[in-house]
């Protein structure tokens, strides 16, 4: 049966999406050969590993297991690549790049260039470029490639019908081990009138082909901050409403404040401590009531983007039949080895983890392959995982925050290098931000780091490497960096650490010498 028929369980919206994808594929090259002409394989018997969801987690696990020679089934009900490729990392980073270009063109004079008389934003072209890039990246995970790698790929909706059996649109697949990598979906805020008035989510905002003249972003987490800045740079009148006193609640306050300042500089209207309490439609526009500190304000916008969080996609999996414990907020319950309450079944990625990032989904999937197929005992808690919010400047973090170290009674010393002391940041006009490295006081052992800088996401990787390899600041002070680079700020931090240590030791020696 052709896959186009097999997705009949999935919502009409999804089918329309596949139709739209087919159109785009015709126009811009193959996006994913799967859903259009795919025929599911015939189940050969019992699979060694059955995986639900072909997002970053599912794809990594399928490839790793197939490379080991395991019989692998991978089931996807929507689009290969999951959230990351289709409506997450890839489309967002692609349009963020163009929005930065627009911001730089407006700022051309600063760099000694004559700005164009007017910077005209061609939003349709921006989105066409995004779709082309998404197609190109998606080809690495096409259905044909996966099949060639020995993965039995099924398009359809997976649901458990027993402790070792999954139904895919009427076909039963049996497994020795299974991994749930069903991902997450946008959380819909309970605001009266929102549904009736219409709204965008991260899953629909990348379908836009015309720039909304005005946009309200609900939520000041990574997604909300990234897209608010992006749309403001494209020229939408952009507002962001966040219920807390500062954006990016998990980040250190000074870092989050820098992101807030950056949004304000880009013209985003910032509403902190603010809740959206009502939306109604008037003459095709959305009239929004905002409450802040007890006072109500009204604003009118063309579009609303909800970015208040993501929830694990546990519905429809029929986890009860498999004896897998879960709850709607935290998702599938797993232990440190990523085992669920059914010893045959593991989970990875957004569906079970608090940190919902692609690198986390992939790293957890690798753990599952080792623990499920190779009797491994790899622990999720042993991983060092950095993350980044791709605003301008970016804000990246790895390891412990100071507050976490204090909660654990770990004495912390912090070394901070402001980017305005980093030569390459000065030459590039990218001086806003800092590199902050936390060490265990009295040692050079790195506990964590936060970087706010134009390229913080790239720079943080050196700190992750040091942490994983057990390299302390003393050794980092001996690492020669190419000059001038923004990553050199890490060496500057290590030098600053060593100079205070040296002077402490030196003054101790001098004291001893004088006391002879």
Ligand X SMILES: Cc1cc2nc3c(=O)[nH]c(=O)nc-3n(C[C@H](O)[C@H](O)[C@H](O)COP(=O)(O)OP(=O)(O)OC[C@H]3O[C@@H](n4cnc5c(N)ncnc54)[C@H](O)[C@@H]3O)c2cc1C
Positions in the binding site for ligand X (CB under 6 A): 52-58, 75-78, 82-84, 87-89, 92-93, 157-158, 181-184, 202, 223, 313, 316-317, 349-351, 356-359, 361, 390
Least separation in angstroms between residue 389's CB and ligand X is 8
Least separation in angstroms between residue 360's CB and ligand X is 7
Least separation in angstroms between residue 246's CB and ligand X is 21
Least separation in angstroms between residue 398's CB and ligand X is 13
Q: What distance in Å separates the CA atoms of residue 216 and residue 240, rounded to the nearest whole number?
A: 6
431-453 CB burial, b ≥16 within 10 A, e <16: bbbbbbbbbbeeebbbbbbbbbb
Q: What distance in Å separates the CA atoms of residue 355 and residue 362, rounded to the nearest whole number?
A: 12
Q: Which is nearer to ligand X, 25 or 158 (CB)?
A: 158
Least separation in angstroms between residue 460's CB and ligand X is 12
Q: Which is nearer to ligand X, 151 or 417 (CB)?
A: 151
Q: Which is nearer to ligand X, 218 or 313 (CB)?
A: 313
Least separation in angstroms between residue 307's CB and ligand X is 8
Least separation in angstroms between residue 439's CB and ligand X is 26
Q: How far is CA 284 from CA 124, 216, 301, 384, 408, in A?
A: 22, 15, 10, 48, 53
By the 10 Å C-beta count (0-12 exposed, 13-18 middle, 19+ buried), 485 is classed as middle
Q: What distance in Å separates the CA atoms of residue 104 and residue 9, rounded to the nearest whole number?
A: 46
Q: Which is nearer to ligand X, 313 or 466 (CB)?
A: 313
Q: Which is nearer to ligand X, 70 or 153 (CB)?
A: 153
Q: What distance in Å separates the CA atoms of residue 414 and residue 341, rounded to the nearest whole number?
A: 41
Q: Which is nearer to ligand X, 353 or 473 (CB)?
A: 353
Q: What distance in Å separates the CA atoms of residue 43 and residue 498, rounded to the nearest whole number?
A: 62
Angle at alpha carbon of residue 447, lines to 446 and 448, rounded to 5°? 100
By the 10 Å C-beta count (0-12 exposed, 13-18 middle, 19+ buried), 414 is classed as middle
Least separation in angstroms between residue 223's CB and ligand X is 5
Q: What distance in Å separates the CA atoms of residue 98 and residue 419, rounded to the nearest whole number?
A: 24
Greatest alpha-carbon pair distance for the chain in Å reads: 92
Q: Which is nearer to ligand X, 180 or 435 (CB)?
A: 180
Q: Which is nearer to ligand X, 336 or 407 (CB)?
A: 336
SS3 label, residue 160: strand
Q: Strand pairing of 303-306 and 214-218?
A: parallel
């Amino acid at each position: 049966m052709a896959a186009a028929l097999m997705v009949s369980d999935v919502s009409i919206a999804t089918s329309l999406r596949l139709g739209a994808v087919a159109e785009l594929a015709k126009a811009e090259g193959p996006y994913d050969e799967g859903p259009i002409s795919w025929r599911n394989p015939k189940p050969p018997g019992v699979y060694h590993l059955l995986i639900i969801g072909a997002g970053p987690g599912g794809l990594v696990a399928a490839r790793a297991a197939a490379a080991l020679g395991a019989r692998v089934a991978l089931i996807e009900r929507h689009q290969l690549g999951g959230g990351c490729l289709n409506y997450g990392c890839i489309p967002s980073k692609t349009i963020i790049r163009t929005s930065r270009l627009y911001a730089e063109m407006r700022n051309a004079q600063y760099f000694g260039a004559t700005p164009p008389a007017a910077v005209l934003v061609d939003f349709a072209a921006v989105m066409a470029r995004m779709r082309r890039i998404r197609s190109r990246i998606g080809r690495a995970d096409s259905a044909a490639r996966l099949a060639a790698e020995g993965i039995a790929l099924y398009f359809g909706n997976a649901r458990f019908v027993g402790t070792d059996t999954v139904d895919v649109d009427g076909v039963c697949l049996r497994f020795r081990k299974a991994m749930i990598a069903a991902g997450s979906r946008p959380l819909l805020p309970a605001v009266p009138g929102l549904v009736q008035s219409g709204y965008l989510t991260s899953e629909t905002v990348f379908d836009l082909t015309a720039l909304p003249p005005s946009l309200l972003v609900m939520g000041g987490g990574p997604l909300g901050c990234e897209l608010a800045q992006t749309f403001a740079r494209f020229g939408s009148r952009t507002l962001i409403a966040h219920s807390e006193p500062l954006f990016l609640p998990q980040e250190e306050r000074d870092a989050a404040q820098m992101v807030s300042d950056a949004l304000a500089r880009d013209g985003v209207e910032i509403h902190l401590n603010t809740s959206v309490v009502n939306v109604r439609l008037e003459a095709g526009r959305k009239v929004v009531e905002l409450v802040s500190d007890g006072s109500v304000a009204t604003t009118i916008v063309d579009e609303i983007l909800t970015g208040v969080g993501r929830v694990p996609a546990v519905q429809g999996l029929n986890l009860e039949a498999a004896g897998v414990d879960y709850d709607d907020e935290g998702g599938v319950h797993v232990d440190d080895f990523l085992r669920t309450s059914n010893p045959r079944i593991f989970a990875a990625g957004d569906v079970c983890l608090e940190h919902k990032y692609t690198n986390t989904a992939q790293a957890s999937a690798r753990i599952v392959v080792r623990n499920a197929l190779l009797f491994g005992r790899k622990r999720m808690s042993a991983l060092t995982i950095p993350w980044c919010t791709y605003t301008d400047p970016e804000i990246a973090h790895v390891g412990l925050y100071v507050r976490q170290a204090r909660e654990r009674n770990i004495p912390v010393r912090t070394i901070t290098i402001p980017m305005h002391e980093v030569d390459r940041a000065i030459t590039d006009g990218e001086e806003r931000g800092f590199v902050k490295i936390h060490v265990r006081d009295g040692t050079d052992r790195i506990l964590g780091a936060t970087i706010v800088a134009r390229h913080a996401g790239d720079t943080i990787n050196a700190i992750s490497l040091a942490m994983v390899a057990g390299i302390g600041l003393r050794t980092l002070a001996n690492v020669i960096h190419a000059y001038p680079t923004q990553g050199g700020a890490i060496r500057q931090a290590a030098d600053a650490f060593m100079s205070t240590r040296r002077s402490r030791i030196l003054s101790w020696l001098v004291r001893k010498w004088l006391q002879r």
